[in-house]
Chain A
Amino acid sequence: MRVRDTNEILLQVEGVALSFGGVRALKDVSFNVRKGEIRAIIGPNGAGKTSMLNVVNGFYHPDRGTITFKGRTRDRMQPFEAARGGIARTFQNVALFKGMSALDNIMAGRTLKVRRGLLWQALRCGPALREELEHRHRVEEIIDFLEIEAIRKVPVGRLPYGLQKRVELGRALAMEPDLLLLDEPMAGMNLEEKEDMSRFIVDVNNQYGTTIALIEHDMAVVMDLSDRVAVLDHGVKIADGTPDEVKNNHAVIEAYLGVAH
């Protein structure tokens, strides 16, 4: 089901600038994400990668520039709009609902697909119960996919970090997104967990055809997984292309290793 060979543009970010007080986090950044690809955004600390994702799903509003998603151009996204449009997201430091079980966390990801209102849910019979069961069924498929069957009833606060990251990915998948934004999906993981997570990312892309944009610091992972890589440094895009092109780019090497004096 791989669709990454199409050239259809799913997301186009054009000339985005963002500043916090005097700090200019993003300066005129443009890039695009093609439908079906795995797109990586890399860069040294403080380069503006997370800010970029936050602009895309409406958590930050840019000072200038436009965001075109699925053919609709906006100056800014609203978080709710982004979610409804099909953009899902995971966070660098896991943002799960700590008091709820893994199952409930992923079920919460189905919110936008729920049709029955308050009264039906209170009665919980007939159509409302059928709907709840359908959602449970879909969520169980995701739980199987991510191999977290054993911990579905455990409150996520009690889970180890690696599993929390997996539950968070599950919650994002439950939204059945068109575009999945992953903010450092492998931060703080050991080698085994990284391999697992890489496999999940490739599988999500292959099986569900979900377009993925990810931020990652592990260069080996980025170069193996992604189709195209954009490099940010100090809020400016300094390179963009296939992993091989980026690897040999002079500006990128300077940004990461410094300039010889």
Chain B
Amino acid sequence: MLYREAGQFKTTYAEDMAIFPISQDRIALAVLLGIAFIGVPLLATFHIWPFGSDYLLWAILLPFLILALAAIGTNILVGYCGQISLGSGAFMAIGAYSAYKLATGVHIPLAWLGFAVSIPPLPVLASILLGGLIAAGVGILFGIPSLRIKGLYLAVATLAAQFFFDWAFLRIPWFTNYAPSGSVNAPALDFFGLIVQSPIERYLLCLLLLTLMALLAKNLVRSNLGRQWMAIRDMDIAAELIGIRPLYAKLTAFAVSSFIVGVAGALWAFVYLGSWEPLAFSIDRSLQLLFMVIIGGLGSIMGSFVGAAFILIVPIMLNLIPTELGVPLSTETITHFEFIIFGSLICYLLIKEPHGFARLISIGKEKLRLWPFPY
């Protein structure tokens, strides 16, 4: 009864093409953004429940924001353009290490040419965005095979990217500025003189970037480029015959996706981890991102958020619930239970709704429009 679009008449195409054409959706989004941008910081500043400690910010909200961003990037490639990728972790790593190199100064000794290329350290924000751009460039390079190979074979090619970059960042000391342990430390997060340090500041930084990039991604997928991606995904032959060039469509999808994933990688390293090893961006991360978009909903920006939340929060809940109930379980048992429950939950969900949470939500909305009368 509450969720009705009756009486909301669109008189222009612009109104009809808005992201949220139904006013109830707009109100819900405004409330959500209000809570995220104003409510959470206020609660956290005054340490009011549930922000009594920084646990919620550090362990849940911060990783959620960054991984949701990475999931949006992955969803553009896998969900919208239909190119299966197992290399998202590698592109996060490229974003992270490129940003690290740019922020600490690049020095390329070209001894055999008799000179060296040196770039002075760049500001943090520029490093993060350029890190994303470098990831986009590498993404285009690894997207080229997609013009010839499809489906599982492409997945194997992107898997190769994953293993190659895992190896490169571990074994080539230049990337880690010759750190003996192979672990690197992020530079101070200096944004035009404003030092981002406390959890809430980090949270706001990520939230701001996520909101902006989610909006840009949403704009892209509902514009012509997004339609080209989906056309390639749904039927590439017909797409070609209406004048879509597979080369352009696929490579832009790889570029945009890798850019977003690269920026997320840089944020993960700089803002969340602070110091990291290549292990942070291993194949596990790629699979985690892939699960997020599959469970959240392929081809849905909102699905990326839901998927990220689900994958992050369910294991934490599974950990917390036995403790809260006072069931004495050893840590190992809990970890095993986590795997069992989590795995079976994913299987169940995919059987019941292969299009993920996004489809469940849209079905729910359709039902809600009619509720409580079935006509």
Contact = CB atoms under 8 A, between A and B. Distances in A.
Interface of A: 57, 59, 79-80, 82-84, 88-89, 91, 95-100, 104, 107-112, 114, 118, 121-124, 128-129, 132-133, 135-137, 140, 171-172, 175
Contacts of B8: none
Contacts of A137: 13
Nearest to A132: B223
B240 A80 contact: yes
Name the residue among B220, B225, B238, B242 with the largest chain A CB count within 10 angstroms: B242
Contacts, number: 99
A79 B233 contact: no
Interface of B: 13-14, 17, 216-217, 219-220, 223-225, 227-228, 230-231, 233-235, 237-245, 252, 256, 299
Given A99-B233, A100-B230, A109-B242, 9 more contacts: A84-B243, A89-B241, A96-B238, A99-B234, A104-B230, A108-B242, A118-B225, A123-B216, A133-B17
A111 B13 CA distance: 19
Name the residue among A57, A80, A84 with the largest chain B CB count within 10 angstroms: A80
Contacts of A172: 242
From DSSP, what is the main secondary structure of chain B's interface residues? helix
Contacts of B237: 59, 95
Nearest to B255: A118
B224 A97 contact: no
B233 A133 contact: no
Given A96-B238, A99-B233, A128-B223, A136 B13 contact: yes
A129 B19 CA distance: 13
Contacts of A82: 241
A122 B216 contact: yes
B224 A110 contact: yes
Contacts of B14: 129, 133
A79 B224 contact: no
B240 A91 contact: no
B241 A97 contact: no
A80 B256 contact: no
A140 B234 CA distance: 23
Contacts of A132: 17, 223-224
Contacts of B233: 97, 99
Given A118-B256, A171-B242, A97 B231 contact: yes
Contacts of B239: 97, 108
A89 B217 CA distance: 31
Nearest to B252: A118
Contacts of A100: 227, 230-231, 234
B204 to A, nearest CB: 23
B227 A88 contact: no
A111 B243 contact: yes
A98 B235 CA distance: 8
20 contacts: A79-B240, A80-B243, A83-B243, A95-B237, A95-B238, A96-B234, A98-B234, A99-B233, A99-B299, A108-B228, A108-B242, A111-B243, A118-B256, A121-B220, A122-B220, A123-B216, A128-B223, A132-B223, A133-B13, A171-B242
